[in-house]
Amino acid sequence: MKDISVVLWNGETTKVNAQSTFNEILKEINPQLAQKALAVKANGFKKDLYDVPQEGDKIEAITFDSEEGKEIFFHSTSHLMAQAVQELYPGTKLAIGPAIAEGFYYDFDTEHTFTPDDFPAIEGKMKELAKKDLPFQRKVVKKEEAVRLFESKGEIYKVELLNEITDEEVSLYLQGDFIDLCRGPHLPSTKKIKAFKLLSVAGAYWRGNEKNKMLQRIYGTSFNSQEALTQYLDMLEEAKRRDHRKIGKELDLFSFHDEGIGFPFFHHKGMIIRNLLENFWREEHRKQGYQEIKTPIILNKALWIQSGHWDHYKENMYFTKIDDQDFAIKPMNCPGGILVYKNKLHSYKEFPMRVAELGLVHRHELSGVLNGLFRVRSFTQDDAHIYMMPNQIKQEVQNLIEFEGFFYRTFGFDFHIELSTKPENAMGSDEIWEKATSSLKDALDEKKLSYKINEGDGAFYGPKIDFHLKDCLGRSWQCGTIQLDFLMPELFDLYYINQLGEKDRPVMLHRTILGSLERFIGILIEQFAGLLPTWIAPVQVRLLPIADRHISYGKDLEKTLNDQGIRVELDENNDKIGAKIRNAELQKIPYMLIFGDKEIDDNLVRVRKQGKGDLGPSTVDSFIQKIHLEIKNKTLP
RNA sequence: GCCAGCGUAGCUCAGAUGGUAGAGCAACUGAUUUGUAAUCAGUGGGUCGGGGGUUCGAUUCCCUUCGCUGGCUCCA
């Protein structure tokens, strides 16, 4: 009675009973896989394991190992959580509960105010429900019927969602007494959910609109084994341990004060990092033929009206008055840079003309989004504006991609690229947008770089390429950007003299590499957990005398190293060597030089490397040589 | 900005159903002179984020304000 044929994942065709579920088919063909399967893909459509195939379906099992599998797993866990919440807090209304990148959430509307203290009870209930081995049952009903059902249950949010669905039929998912509007698919049973944890509670506007009611969102994550969950939770702990706000305080790098919220204060050691980063940046830009300028922080309102910021960016700007005239604190560097361009007549021979500026900008960000050095209200962009002819775009963009990559590799970051295209409210003709976008695309394609396209996500004046750094914990940070701009040259009537001696309109390119110096420093701190590469470490060497009588030898060493341009500190505390080592380790100082009677007699030091331990004795000269090489090569720890 | 939680010594944190606070580390002083992640002892240090209210009395309860943390993007 095997009456239909299906195509398996390995390409084989096989006959199956038309009534067999996907689950049964999998079990028959590959019991091990059936054990792991969470759902299936039939002809590319995701289906429940309890579903049945159609003639000719191409079947593929979905497991937790794939993104799709995780999504289904997370989504089912969110249903499980919602069930638990409704059982514990009857009358709770459900909004939405999707899977997200590393877990799930569900938005609830209830009188009860959730706090993390409620999590153990909810988790307990979830465990209990999971153990019951409740199947996730799909039920397809007429939309009207679903509306009536959810109206009777007072699920106003579900009704609102239903009213926006145009299909005649919708699917519901049931597990036990719990019922939810859901497209599916889901796990076969709650029992598959082996390990989960609720992580945080937060407010979230219904449909993300601040005019709507604020709901309570509970975030969580789940895994198909306890070990995987533990591993994930360890990763979160590790991220906490690396938090740049914590390390910045411990290592005395920077601070924040009530007297200027969102405005970071850089301490001496933080300034060392900053200055080294700037020096490196300047040197590399010089090699690439950049000029450097510095434009004022406060500029007349008229400039900002001309640039369009007054209309488009006012909400984010700070203002002030000078001699009764209105001024703005710059939120971007371009208008000031353009004034420099206009200060003099330019020839095509200067193009591409690369003008860099480490520009301090101020932006009024909502208080709730501020976050350490990552999101501040004043920061230094490593900006540059490149003026050129349209036919120079591709080459220049390729140069830039290379240049950006060089910076990121120096710090050991992986990165990926995204390309954003014309948005709804774009300025300029389709033709010029097409040309601009394809220039960027060509530049990327020719370099055989893969990139993700964000349709409609470009700036209103041009398409852009964004660089997203990936740190050692797999988190990604947007840093660099390359934006093509046809608008500003127009608005400011920029021109150059072309080969024919005529006035012509240049194309402008805005770009950053590090993005914001402050933010980049924050990212570096987290990437290296405070243990920065020796070349950029605030203190490179700490000298640790065994006993007080060795301090004078230490003072000589200090002078020697200092004269060699090495950032060095002498520990004169009356501590045992173990304590001195501990302090230096905690301060993340790359090298410790230890010396007592034995070393002094032979004019040696014992080298200890942070995190690695004792490297044995060395002459001072040999140590200096090695550390100089490491600094020169910008060796990563 | 909105929701929730939090704010106690330089740092990390404890604490009292309302009777004006405590530990560890750090700092300082002294002893010790130390050999690869914390030597011992002593001392000083706080308007318990700010303001207001209730009270005989508030750091504790209430209101308000400021700040910090997580989130408010992933659309059944």
A274 is catalytic: no
Confidence of residue A435 (pLDDT cuts 50, 70, 90): confident
**pLDDT tens profile A453-467:** 888 878 777 889 999
What is residue A371's DSSP assignment?
Answer: B
Q: How many Å apart are A106 CA and B74 C1'?
A: 13
Residue A541 belongs to some domain of the structure: yes
- The mean per-residue pLDDT over the stretch A543-567 comes to 96
Is the domain of A230 the same as that of A267?
A: no
pLDDT of residue A3: 76
For the CA of A622 and the C1' of B16, the distance in angstroms is: 61
pLDDT confidence bin for A211, thresholds 50/70/90: confident
The answer to whether the CB of A155 falls within 8 A of the CB of A97 is no
Residue A185 and residue A39 in contact, taking contact as beta carbons nearer than 8 Å? yes
Whether A363 is catalytic is: yes
Q: A437 and A397: one domain?
A: yes
Closest residue by Cα to the C1' atom of nucleotide B1? A366
Around A519, how many Cα atoms within 13 Å sit in the side-chain half-sphere? 24
Determine how β-strand A93-94 pairs with β-strand A103-109: antiparallel
Specify if A227 maps to a domain: yes
The answer to whether residue A519 is domain-embedded is yes
> Could you give phi then psi for residue A33, rounded to 5 degrees?
-65, -40
Distance CA A617, CA A105 (A): 56
Structural contact between residues A94 and A155, judged by C-beta atoms closer than 8 angstroms = yes
- Say whether A32 is catalytic: no
Query: Residue A2: its pLDDT value, please?
Result: 63
Query: Looking at per-residue confidence, does A27 or A634 come out higher?
Result: A634
Catalytic residue selected from A217, A285, A385, A606: A385
Specify whether the CB–CB gap between A270 and A253 falls below 8 A: yes
A520 and A576 inside one domain: no
Catalytic choice (A363, A377, A580, A606): A363
pTM given for the model? 0.90
CA separation for the pair A271, A275 (Å, rounded): 6
Q: Which of A527, A560, A591 is the last residue of a domain?
A: A527
C1'-nearest nucleotide to the CA of A600: B35
From the CA of A619, how many Å to the C1' of B38? 29
Q: How far is the CA of A428 from the C1' of B61 (A)?
A: 63
Q: In whole numbers, what is the pLDDT of chain A averaged over residues?
A: 91
A616, closest nucleotide (Cα–C1'): B36
Give the end of a domain, one of A44, A62, A80: A62
Question: Mean pLDDT throughout A227-241?
Answer: 89
Q: What CATH code is carried by the domain that includes residue A613?
A: 3.40.50.800
What residues contact residue A50 under an 8 Å CB cut-off, 6+ apart? A21, A22, A23, A135, A137, A138, A188
User: Taking the C1' atom of B36, which residue's CA lies nearest?
Assistant: A578
* A583 closest-nt by C1' vs CA: B37
**Strand B nucleotides below 7 A of a protein CB?**
1-5, 11-12, 26-27, 30-39, 66-76
pLDDT grade, residue A250 (50/70/90)? very high
Q: Which residues pair with A314 in a beta bridge?
A: none
d(CA A314, C1' B67) / Å? 26
Catalytic one of A83, A216, A381, A610: A381
- Both tokens of residue A289? 């033929």
Provide the 10 A C-beta neighbour count for residue A108: 24
Q: Are residues A514 and A578 in the same domain?
A: no
Q: pLDDT tens digit string along A297-349?
A: 999 999 999 988 888 888 889 999 999 999 999 999 999 999 999 999 999 99
Residue with CA nearest to B49's C1' atom: A258
pLDDT level of residue A425 (50, 70, 90 thresholds):
low
Question: Is A313 within the bounds of a domain?
Answer: no
Whether the Cβ atoms of residue A243 and residue A479 lie closer than 8 Å to each other: no
The CA–C1' separation of A117 and B64, in angstroms, is: 27
CATH number at residue A139: 3.30.980.10
Percent of chain A scoring above 90 in pLDDT: 65
- Whether residues A443 and A341 fall in one domain: yes
Q: What are the tens digits of pLDDT across the range A198-208?
A: 988 888 889 88
Catalytic residue among A47, A48, A334, A608: A334
Q: Which residues pair with A329 in a beta bridge?
A: A298, A318
Q: Are residues A264 and A218 in the same domain?
A: no
Q: Which residues of A480-501 are buried (b: 16+ CB within 10 A; e: fewer)?
A: bbbbbbbbbbeebebbbeeeee
In a domain, A310, yes or no: no
Q: pLDDT by residue (tens digit) across A99-152?
A: 998 899 999 998 888 888 788 889 999 999 999 999 999 999 999 999 999 999
Same domain, A580 and A494: no
Complete DSSP assignment for A159-183:
HHHHHT---SEEEEEEETTEEEE--
Please, which pLDDT band fits residue A1 given cuts at 50, 70 and 90?
A: low
C-alpha separations of A138 from A99, A175, A179, A458 in Å: 18, 9, 10, 41
Give percent above pLDDT 70 in chain A.
99
Question: How far is residue A500's CA from residue A417's CA, in Å, rounded to a whole number?
Answer: 38
Name the amino acid, one letter, at A66.
Answer: S
CATH of the domain at A509: 3.30.930.10
C1' (B9) to CA (A573) span, angstroms:
23
Q: Which of A79, A285, A464, A550 is catalytic?
A: A464
Q: CA(A575)–C1'(B25) in Å?
A: 15
- Answer yes or no: A385 catalytic: yes
Same domain, A590 and A615: yes
Q: Average pLDDT in the A161-184 region? A: 89
Which nucleotide is nearest to A547 if distance is taken from CA to C1'?
B33
Domain limits for position A148: 69-236
Q: What CATH number is attached to the domain comprising A48?
A: 3.10.20.30
Q: Is residue A504 part of a domain?
A: yes
Is the domain of A230 the same as that of A98? yes
Among A209, A236, A263, the domain boundary falls at: A236
Query: Is A53 or A384 the better-scoring residue by pLDDT?
Result: A384
Under 8 Å between Cβ of A21 and A71: no
Same domain for A431 and A351? yes
Angle at Cα A251 formed by Cα A249 and Cα A253, nearest 5°? 70
Q: Is residue A611 part of a domain?
A: yes
Active-site residue, A555 included: no
Q: What is the pLDDT of residues A469-513, one digit of tens each?
A: 988 777 788 899 999 988 889 999 999 999 999 999 999 999 999
For residue A365, which nucleotide's C1' is closest to its Cα? B1
Nucleotide nearest to A615 (CA to C1'): B36
Integer Cα distance of A623 and A637 in angstroms? 17
Instruction: Give the nucleotide nearest to A171 (CA→C1').
Output: B76
Contact call for residues A543 and A568 (beta carbons, < 8 A): yes
Angle subtended by helix axes A143-152 and A156-163, to nearest 10: 160
Q: Is A383 a catalytic residue?
A: yes
Average pLDDT of span A535-563: 96
- pLDDT at A428 > cutoff 80: no
More confident residue, A270 or A43: A270
pLDDT in tens, A598-617: 999 899 999 999 999 999 99
> At residue A371, does pLDDT exceed 60?
yes
* Structural domain count of chain A: 4
How many Å from the CA of A476 to C1' of B76? 29
Average pLDDT over residues A420-443: 82
To which residue do tokens 């009213």 refer? A163
In the annotation, is A468 catalytic?
A: no
Residue entry with tokens 């979830």: A126
The residue annotated as part of the active site, out of A186, A330, A422, A510, is A510
| Cα–Cα distance list, A146 to A136, A143, A185, A207 (Å) | 17, 5, 18, 21
A208 versus A535: the higher-pLDDT residue is: A535
> Mean of the pLDDT values across residues A51-62?
82
State residue A210's pLDDT score. Answer: 77
**Would residue A426 count as lying in a domain?**
yes
A337 and A203 both lie in a single domain: no
Residues A73 and A51 in one domain: no
